[in-house]
């Protein structure tokens, strides 16, 4: 009788120990929720991100799914995506829906600061980690919010420092003394404008003679350019979204005004899109950021820029609607971070996801450069060199990195 | 002088003003004059944008909330004709007029007579044409994608035209001329043709016109077709004036066009000229002195006119053309 009871006890103990060590049942799919804007002012930056992210999902699923360390196996990805139509109100509702109704495992924000801004507090409130693709607004990143990390762009306060450094360094040597800053009033460009203003005032080498914001919906800059020209600045920095930059560069060409240094964000970062709408002659000599789509970083993970561009062209042939550019890189790069996160996370608990993402900081090298996070989730690794669009042959422009010197692959030509 | 300094002080307080303390009175005057001249020319484009919308309201007492989307389709047509056939936009403008008039006739007969038989046709037209607007936007997005499209600036000439010392793009002059021609043609149509006389009769009273044997539906259908043609022509110039065209631009265009026609008097197509110029000048002044707030302008104008002079600038005396 005693031996029977002992055997039963041992059996129970073994069973209990076994259940304690067993991994939780693996889900049938890893659900990733995201938003995109198929229409509205942010469609131009949202759709390339979304299409590239879908490309990564399709490639991953074709390979049998994503490796999830917590379950020790590959699991297919299920993408739940909603169209916010560039509306922050719609985006807020849909972020809530993804978290509370769809119960997604991972949440990926829409592209850009405006449509990310409403997701940040919602994700924080629900303790859901937010993969922030390119929302670089400085206010998103605070020490009391562990539920966010910026994937692909440096935070807006860091991003523009090469512009001011270049002007203070090489610009001043060439006689650049005054600057006009015209920006769209949103988190993305507003933060960059404020940062630039601070850099110029701190350095005290280049004087700001014009500092003015315009609504992001602005589609005509003629009078603004005339007003800037009346103050005769050496450099003009226009910080806007794609639609703003198209209108600005067209109006600048139409106006016949010439400035020695003109900067626009998307002339370089969405070169194909801007070139299609503005034409080469209006872009010649314009300064811009050099995104990963025009700079070849050597990746440790995923495709390099050329291979990705080829994969993009195969899936979305040129002329099919969405142009290849920096935002396409950002979407694919976010997929790679998700992939590496799932490959290292201990569970799908959101703080475990946080730990896994931050564990990649400084170690992950992709086609977008080195992924490195500040404590508050801001991206500080992926730098954006200053570049200039210079002629390449008769009817082509090339984006040449001109600053900082260690990343430069060409020399800046400052107008006379 | 005090007032100008007052504006500057406000702007500087808002941390978005012109920071140059060396700006002279001469500079300020130039900026003011430049803003007014640019505003008049730019406003003429918005006259073209609002003209058709006001014509439809004047004749049918309905609000075509898809007006901005037809404008977008005009721009898409010009883009398509240029990229596929190499047609110059000024040629495309002529084609667009013909095609849009022809499109307008069946749309009118399909939608408007039923709408006008309802109890509250004005309100129902808002809902119905909002639906049409959404449909046009969605179909265009699905068919062409959501990105910006434009026409090469060189087509209307690169470089400025200097008007009273103010540099303006050549495209503005072309669109202002097109708008002036459109206003003139609408005037000649309304006041120098038999169909125009009948149109004005319908504008005064649809029921009385019907009672006197006027083919009210035909007259209205032609007006609807003309309205779409005007929107289409404005669309052809849109890439040059607004930088680019996107499938979603219709809503913003509608809001501005609505402000223009309310300011210039609802139902009075020719009042649109004044409304457009007031809008253009106000926008350029806002861009010069309070640029961050410029997108509030259509709404501010609407509220101001509705509070101070709800019948519009021209008021009742000319409301019915």
Query: What is the CATH number for A194?
Result: 3.40.50.2300
In a domain, B38, yes or no: no
- Please give the model's pTM, rounded to 2 decimal places: 0.81
For B302, the token pair is 């609407």
**CA angle, corner B130, sides to B225 and A215, nearest 5?**
105
- CA triple B219-B220-B222, angle to 5 deg: 70
* Domain extent for A285: 161-294+385-403
Question: Are the C-beta atoms of residues A330 and A52 closer than 8 Å to each other?
Answer: yes
A344–chain B Cβ distance below 8 A for any pair? no
Q: How many CA atoms lie within 13 A of B131 on its CB side?
A: 5
> In this structure, are strands B160-163 and B166-169 parallel, antiparallel, or unpaired?
antiparallel
Rounded Cα–Cα distance for residues B130 and B117 (Å): 19
Same domain, A204 and A308: no
| 3-class secondary-structure state, position B88 | coil
Same domain for A143 and A168, yes or no, is no
Nearest to A254 among B35, B39, B160 (CB): B160
Q: H/E element holding A7?
A: helix A2-21
pLDDT tens-digit series, residues B230-249: 999 999 999 999 999 999 89
Strand order from edge to edge, sheet including A287-289: A207-214, A178-184, A235-239, A261-264, A287-289, A386-391, A397-403
Q: Does A219 touch chain B (CB under 8 A)?
A: yes
Q: What is the ipTM of this complex?
A: 0.81
A47 close to B (CB below 8 A): yes
Q: Tell me: do A99 and A167 sit in the same domain.
A: no
A215, A244 in Cβ contact below 8 A?
no
Task: Note the pLDDT of residue B314.
Answer: 74
Can you tell me whether residue A348 is helix, strand or coil?
A: coil
Contact A254 B169 (CB under 8 A): yes
User: For A277, which of B15, B27, B244 is closest by C-beta distance?
Assistant: B244
User: pLDDT tens across B55-98, in order?
Assistant: 999 899 898 999 999 999 999 999 999 999 999 999 999 999 99
For A336-381, write each residue's pLDDT tens digit.
999 999 999 999 999 999 999 999 999 999 999 999 999 999 998 8
Note whether A170 and A252 are same-domain residues. Answer: yes
Q: In terms of domains, do A175 and A278 share one? A: yes
Q: Is residue A379 part of a domain?
A: no
Look up the domain containing B109 and give its range.
45-147+162-242
Residue B122, in any domain of the structure: yes
Q: Are residues A248 and A149 in the same domain?
A: no
Please say if the pLDDT value at position A145 is more than 90: yes
CB neighbour class for B194 (10 Å; exposed up to 12, middle 13-18, buried from 19)? exposed
pLDDT in tens, A10-42: 555 545 444 445 556 889 999 999 999 988 778
Question: Are both A173 and A112 inside the same structural domain?
Answer: no
CA-based nearest distance A146→chain B, Å:
32
Smallest Cβ–Cβ distance between A185 and the set B153, B246, B292 belongs to B292
Q: How many domains does chain A have?
A: 2
**Has residue B63 been placed in a domain?**
yes
Is the same domain home to A249 and A192? yes
Answer yes or no: do A132 and A253 share one domain. Answer: no
Whole-number pLDDT of residue A76: 97
Does residue A304 share a domain with residue A196? no
Please check whether residue A12 lies inside any domain of the structure: no
Give the per-residue pLDDT at B234: 97
Instruction: Locate A75 and state its tokens.
Output: 């699991």
- B34, B141, B241: residue with CB nearest A38: B141
Buried b (16+ CB within 10 A) or exposed e, A277-309: bbbeebbebbbbbbbbbbbebebebbbebeebb
Query: What pLDDT, on a 0 to 100 scale, did the predictor assign at position A22?
Result: 54
**B window 276-295, beta carbon within 8 A of A:** 284, 287-288, 291-295
For residue B196, tell me if it sits in a domain: yes
Q: Please check whether residue A181 touches B, CB under 8 A.
A: no
Task: Examine residue A404 and say whether the peptide bond preceding it is cis (omega within 30 degrees of 0).
Answer: yes
Same domain, A348 and A203: no
- Chain A residues whose CB is inside 8 A of the B11 CB are 212
Q: How many independent structural domains does chain B possess?
A: 1
Q: What's the confidence (pLDDT) of residue A158?
A: 83
* Of A99, A65, A123, nearest in space to A377 by CA: A123
Same domain membership, residue A390 and residue A254: yes
Contact between A342 and A66 (Cβ < 8 Å): yes
How confident is the model over B7-21, as a mean pLDDT?
40
- Residue A94 confidence (pLDDT) above 90: yes
């Amino acid at each position: 009788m005693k031996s029977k009871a002992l055997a039963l006890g041992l059996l129970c103990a073994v069973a209990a120990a076994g259940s304690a060590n067993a991994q939780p049942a693996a889900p049938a799919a890893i659900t990733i929720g995201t938003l995109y804007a198929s229409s509205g002012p942010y469609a131009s930056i949202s759709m390339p991100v979304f299409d590239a992210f879908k490309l990564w999902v399709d490639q991953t699923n074709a390979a049998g799914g994503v490796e999830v360390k917590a379950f020790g196996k590959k699991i297919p990805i299920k993408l739940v995506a909603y169209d916010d139509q560039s509306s922050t109100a719609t985006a807020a509702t849909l972020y809530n829906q993804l978290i509370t109704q769809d119960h997604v495992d991972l949440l990926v924000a829409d592209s850009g600061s405006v449509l990310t801004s409403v997701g940040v507090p919602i994700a924080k409130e629900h303790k859901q980690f937010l993969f922030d693709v390119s929302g670089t607004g400085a206010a998103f990143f605070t020490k009391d919010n562990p539920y966010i990390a910026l994937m692909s762009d440096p935070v807006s306060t860091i991003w523009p420092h090469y512009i001011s450094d270049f002007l203070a360094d090489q610009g001043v040597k060439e006689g650049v003394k005054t600057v006009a800053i015209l920006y769209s009033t949103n988190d993305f460009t507003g933060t960059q404008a404020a940062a630039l203003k601070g850099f110029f005032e701190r350095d005290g080498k280049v004087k700001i003679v014009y500092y003015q914001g315009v609504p992001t919906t602005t589609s005509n800059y003629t009078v603004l350019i005339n007003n800037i020209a009346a103050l005769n600045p050496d450099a003009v920095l226009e910080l806007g979204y794609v639609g703003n930059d198209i209108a600005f560069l067209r109006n600048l060409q139409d106006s016949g005004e010439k400035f020695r240094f003109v900067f626009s964000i998307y002339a370089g970062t969405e070169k194909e899109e801007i070139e299609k709408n503005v034409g080469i002659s209006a872009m010649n000599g314009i300064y811009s950021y050099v995104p990963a789509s025009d700079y070849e970083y050597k990746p440790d993970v995923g495709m390099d820029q050329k291979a990705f561009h080829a994969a993009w062209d195969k899936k979305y042939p040129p002329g099919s609607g969405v142009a290849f550019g920096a935002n396409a890189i950002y979407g694919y790069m976010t997929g790679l971070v998700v992939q590496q996160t799932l490959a290292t996370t201990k569970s799908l608990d959101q703080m475990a996801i946080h730990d896994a993402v931050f564990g990649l900081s400084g170690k992950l090298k992709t086609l977008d450069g080195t992924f490195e996070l500040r404590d508050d989730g801001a991206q500080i690794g992926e730098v954006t060199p200053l570049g200039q669009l210079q002629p390449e042959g008769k009817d082509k422009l090339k984006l040449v990195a001109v600053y900082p010197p260690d990343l430069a692959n060409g020399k800046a030509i400052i107008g006379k | 002088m005090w007032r100008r300094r007052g504006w500057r002080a406000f702007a500087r307080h808002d941390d978005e003003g012109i920071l140059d303390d060396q700006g002279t009175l001469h500079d300020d005057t130039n900026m003011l004059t430049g803003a007014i001249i640019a505003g008049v020319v730019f406003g003429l484009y918005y006259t073209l944008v609002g003209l058709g919308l006001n014509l439809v309201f004047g004749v049918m007492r309905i609000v075509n909330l898809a007006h901005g989307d037809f404008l977008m389709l005009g721009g898409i047509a010009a883009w398509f004709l240029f990229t596929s056939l190499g047609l110059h936009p000024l040629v495309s403008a002529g084609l667009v007029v013909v095609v849009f008039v022809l499109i307008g006739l069946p749309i009118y007969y399909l939608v408007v007579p039923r709408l006008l038989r309802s109890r509250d046709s004005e309100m129902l037209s808002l809902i119905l044409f909002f639906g049409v607007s959404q449909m046009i936007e969605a179909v265009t997005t699905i068919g062409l994608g959501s990105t910006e499209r434009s026409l090469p600036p060189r087509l209307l000439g690169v470089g400025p035209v200097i008007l009273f010392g103010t540099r303006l793009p050549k495209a503005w002059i072309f669109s202002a001329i097109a708008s002036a021609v459109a206003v003139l043609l609408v005037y000649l149509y309304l006041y120098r043709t038999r169909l125009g006389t009948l149109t004005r009769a319908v504008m005064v009273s649809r029921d009385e016109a019907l009672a006197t044997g006027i083919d009210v539906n035909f007259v209205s259908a032609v007006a609807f077709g003309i309205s779409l043609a005007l929107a289409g022509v404005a669309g052809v110039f849109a890439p040059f004036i607004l930088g680019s065209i996107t499938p979603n631009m219709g809503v913003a265009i509608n809001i501005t066009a609505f402000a223009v026609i309310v300011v210039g008097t609802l139902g009075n197509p020719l009042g649109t000229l004044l409304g457009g110029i007031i809008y253009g000048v106000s926008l350029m002044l806002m861009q010069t002195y309070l640029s961050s707030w410029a997108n509030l302008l259509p709404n501010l104008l609407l509220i101001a006119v509705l509070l101070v002079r709800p019948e519009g600038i021209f008021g009742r005396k000319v409301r019915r053309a």
